[in-house]
Structure 1
Amino acid sequence: MNASKESPFRGLGLNDKKTIRSWAFFDWANSAYNLVITSTIFPAYYTIITSDKNPETIDYVTFFGRKFVNSALYSYSMSFAFLVIAILSPILSSIADTRGNKKVFMQMFTYIGSLACCGLYFFKLETLELGVILCVVAAIGFWGSLVFYNSYLPEIATVDQQDKVSAKGFTYGYIGSIILQIICFVFVFKPDWFGITDDSIPARLSFLMVGIWWMVFAQIPFKNLPKGSPNFRTNKNVFTSGFNELNKVWHQVKQMAYLKRFLFAFFFYSMGVQTVMLVATIFGEKELHLPTEKLIATILILQLVAIPGAMLMSYLSSKKFGNVNVLIGVVIIWIGSCVAAYFIHTEYQFYALAAVIGLIMGGIQSLSRSTYSKFLPQESPDHTSFFSFYDVAEKVALVFGMFIFGFIDEQLGMRNSVIALTVFFILGLLFLLHLKKVEPKTVIVN
């Protein structure tokens, strides 16, 4: 396609380098949350302050008068956050679509999430309830903003460029988050350089820096991305029309066998992928008793490996094997990784497994987003509704994934929770294999 061709649905110049670069900078801004809060320092800090340091005992915490296993409380709180997003995003997408102001909602969720991260500076064991609530609010801010961020993809890039552009976003995200993570490391590992004597301050200072980083760098996409075009529906209630839109999208999806089967596959393997990413640090801390410094450094290396992983999968899908074939191969690797996690007992086994997961982690997210975008009716003026459906499917998957993980953790232990994730990946794999039996009605993807 001609790079200067105008989008028929938003008036944006497709494949415009400045627009794409600005869009990718939103990943740069918010991925600091995903690395520091989701994957490294916050889970490690949470586990440390809620643990009695005795590997022979189970660590319990009291949350608003009820007793929980500490890791299970974390899982349940994340499950609740995703449930809130699954309920809110259709309503907010409807309002954004009606008023043509989806960038406003990107901004709103960004400020909510970043300010919650700043608030985590005050999180200590004696303020457990506050810390967990702010953690939930930060997650809502992060994932809520992605509903509107993702919907820009088919509006800024032609179908043949969407794999590359999606991977560019993830690559920016990994680079930006690693830069901030290294800055945080200086405080965490060398607090004496700054005269810090309170052991909790370096981690809490990291949470504050994430909020500031997220807020500041988000101004780049906020400045350059268009706000969206209004599609006024004055005869509809915006608080119900979002769910009506999801129902409408679902009826359209049911007529597109390829897209429907892909969404089922995505639903199940997302239950596994996102849950692993959210609990990996806690697993290393609780099950393997790894020192915090080594654990955080390992997760950082995992992020570094994820950059070439995302680029490699973009290349393999676009130039060699096609999206679905690459996804099948990646999901098979995820299945093997979950089985391996059940049996690992040493730090070097954990490092090896982390390297494998890092290679496939960013790639499966980037490729899933661009594959879904390719399957959409490209002439549609309303990609926000389609991506709202995509995001709701992912969040509902996470509600189930995190809740099931936490429940099995409380009943049978975390290792059994990890092996249970294999079932999700197997179901996703079966739908991907079934997908190959149906030809797509929009864009052919091998």
Structure 2
Amino acid sequence: MTNPAAAAPAVATTPKNDKRITNGWAMYDWANSVYPLVITSSIFPIYWSSVVKTATGTDSGKSPVDFLGFQVPGSSLLTYAISAAFLIIAIISPFLTSLADFSGRKKAFLQFFCYLGAASCAGLYFFDANTFTASTFVFIAATVGFSGSIVFYNSYLPDISTEDQYDRLSARGFSMGYVGSVILLIICLVINQFHEQVGISGTKAAQLSFLLTGFWWAGFAQIPFARLPKDPGRAASAGADNSGWLLNGFRELGKVWRELAYQPNLKRFLLAYFTYNMGVQTVMYVATIFGTDELHLEDSALIITILLLQIVAILGAYLFARLSEAIGNTRALSWSVVIWALICIAGYYVQAGWSFYALASVIGLTMGGIQSLSRSTYSKIIPENTPNTAAYFSFFDVTEKLSIVIGTATWGIISQQFGSMRYSILALIVFFILGLIFLLTLRGKKLREDSRDDTFLPPPPASAPAELGRPQLR
């Protein structure tokens, strides 16, 4: 069967492993990683808890607050807001990424979500007890901006590097993100610790941190925006009329969905990623609120712990990249999932003091590794040289976002019902065990199945010779 795209005019391809491009790509991690550190993990959750206490006139961040006429525990409301944000992006991202692939607007979508997230972070400058409800929606918008930009950013990985560089480039991106976010957190930490010396209140110091996060994100994003190549899009490569890019974008999504039926390895990996990521992301999003409201840790000690955790994560990202080179991606991922399950078991019993700091160190070591390896492993599984990288990564992104929705919602519901976050940890252990089981189904299989062109032909007959030279899962 003839591939219709074969007669299409030639389109310039992006040079792979070009240092200017790959370094520019990694700089987006440097730019946007200030959101998960400052907003998700450190200053914002602590500030959220303090605003809840002010709004309710109590000394507990778990006290019920009025939100749209409902009385919701403050700590649970934060997890529900995170769930809502990721549900929104999970619904819209498949359509946006298919449109981006066809129309060549991948970078434009990346820029839109970047500016949405950065502007919303800056908007949290106005967050206080009087703007609680409105600021909750601003926080949701910031989360949508962050998560929306990630799918387009990730989809560049197979476009700009060769397969043998996926693990290291992915690890470099995460490491750059940890370094950049640590620098900003140190700046914010100094402002928050010495706010009296500069004549501002503790509240204003925290709000300035949110403002700085928005400016840092949008400012440093200009580097990848300048260096990442233009995407000609499917319409250009096929010589088609680009005026119908909206409708054709939806058709591209349908093509990728049908192609998934012929890639059992990809489906197995997405199932494994969906389950273990419920645990990983939930831990990352609730760790600070757990330390604040469950363990009653001092704010300064908690932020310093998170700072050290990020530094350890840099080592972890490179350590697991090297481990994957030695024993294979799925084995390295399996070991990281086992460690995460043990982390949750220890988390159920952890108390304030040395045990908390020891646990945080292990989390930091495995946090960067499992995120980096997940991204690079998926890059190796999707069809080689596919023109639909953004659409393929949208399925990866939707899997991630839905896992966050379920994970954080489960945490919030169990915590609300039982009055303690420790019971929520038990659910996370189940997620990691299931993720490990699904990962083990990939052992000994080809990492990438037979890649076909974009006509999405049915799979080759069973008698066809096996494709040679593909990397193996171990």
Structure 2 CA distance for aligned equivalents of residues 168 and 117 of structure 1: 25
Q: 2:214 corresponds to which residue?
A: 211
Partner of 2:430: 423
Q: Does 1:67 align with 2:80?
A: no
Residue 273 of structure 2 is aligned to residue 269 of structure 1: no
The residue aligned with 2:465 is: none
- For residues 363-382 of structure 1, the aligned pairs below 5 Å read 363-382=369-388
Worse overlay, 15-24 or 95-104: 95-104
Task: Describe the SS at the equivalent of 2:72.
Answer: strand
- Residues 389 and 236 of structure 1: CA distance in aligned 2, closer, same or farther (over 3 Å): farther
Cα distance, 1:443 vs. partner?
3.3
Quick one: structure 1 residues 237 and 271, their matched pair in 2 at CA, closer, same or farther if it must change by over 3 Å?
Answer: farther
- Asked whether the 8 Å contact 1:267–1:428 carries over to 2, the reply is yes
Q: Distance in 2 between matches of 1:354 and 1:371?
A: 26
TM-score, normalised on structure 1?
Answer: 0.94
For residue 92 of structure 2, the aligned residue among 88, 91, 98 is: 88
* Mapping 1:327-346, distance limit 5 Å: 327-346=333-352
Q: Distance in 1 between matches of 2:86 and 2:255?
A: 22
Alpha-carbon displacement from aligned partner over 1:30-70 (angstroms, at most 9, x marks no partner): 00111000110001110122135546x95111112211011
Identify the residue that residue 357 of structure 1 maps to in structure 2: 363
Give TM-score scaled by structure 2 length.
0.88
Correspondence for 2:227: 224
Give yes or no for contact 2:338–2:436 (8 Å, CA) kept in 1. yes
Give the aligned partner of residue 31 of structure 2.
29
Q: Counterpart amino acid of 1:415?
A: R
Answering whether residue 446 of structure 2 is matched by residue 443 of structure 1, we say no
- Equivalent AA in structure 1 for residue 17 of structure 2: N
1:258 is aligned to 2:268: no
Instruction: Give me the whole-angstrom Cα distance separating, in 2, the residues matched to 1:234 and 1:91.
Output: 19
- Which of 411, 423, 426 pairs up with 2:417? 411
| 1:148–1:58 distance in 2 versus 1, CA, 3 Å | closer
**SS at 2:441 equivalent:** helix
1:110 corresponds to:
114
TM-aligned CA distance change 1:39 to 1:58, over 3 Å: closer
Distance in 2 (CA, whole Å) between partners of 1:58 and 1:374 is 43
| RMSD across aligned positions (CA) | 1.8
Kindly state the Cα deviation for residue 125 of structure 1 after the two structures are TM-superposed: 1.4
Displacement of 1:401? 1.1
Once the two structures are TM-superposed, the CA of residue 253 in structure 1 deviates from its matched residue by 2.6
Contact 1:33/1:210 (CA < 8 Å) preserved in 2? yes
Distance (Å, rounded) in 1 between the aligned partners of 2:250 and 2:422: 38
CA deviation profile, 1:306-327 (whole Å, cap 9, x unmatched):
0000000011111x11111010
Structure 2 residue aligned with 1:3: none
Query: Which residue of structure 1 aligns with residue 392 of structure 2?
Result: 386
Which has the larger displacement, 158-167 or 61-70?
61-70
Q: Structure 1, residues 378-426: CA drift from partner, whole Å, max 9, x if none? A: 1312211111111011111111111111111110221111221111111
Shift of 1:99: 1.7
Residues 10 and 158 from structure 1, CA distance in 2 versus in 1: closer, same or farther, beyond 3 angstroms? farther
Task: For structure 1, list consecutive stretches of 5 or more residues without a partner in the other structure.
Answer: 1-7
Q: Secondary structure at the match of 1:67?
A: strand
Q: Is the 8 A contact 2:95 2:253 kept in 1?
A: no
Amino acid at match of 1:23: W
Alignment of 1:4-403 (within 5 A): 11-51=13-53, 54=59, 58-196=62-200, 198-232=201-235, 245-318=252-325, 320-403=326-409
Q: Could you say if the C-alpha distance between residues 236 and 247 of structure 1 is closer, same or farther in structure 2, counting changes exceeding 3 Å?
A: farther
CA distance in 1, matches of 2:436, 2:78: 28
Other-structure match for 1:4: none
Matched letter for residue 359 of structure 1: L
Larger Rg: 2
Asked whether the 8 Å contact 1:10–1:381 carries over to 2, the reply is no
What's the offset of the Cα at 1:10? 6.2
Determine the C-alpha separation between the residues in 1 that align with 2:191 and 2:373.
35
CA spacing shift, 1:265–1:15, aligned 2, 3 Å: same
| Counterparts of 1:66 and 1:185, CA distance in 2 | 34
Kindly provide the amino acid, as one letter, of the partner of residue 75 in structure 1. Answer: T
For residues 263-284 of structure 1, give each alpha carbon's deviation from its aligned partner in whole angstroms, at most 9, with x where no partner exists. Answer: 1100111111111100000000
Q: Find the aligned partners of 1:379 and 1:75 in 2 and give their Cα distance.
A: 38
- Partners of 1:36 and 1:287 in 2: CA distance: 20
Secondary structure of the residue aligned to 1:50 is: helix
Identical-pair percentage: 49
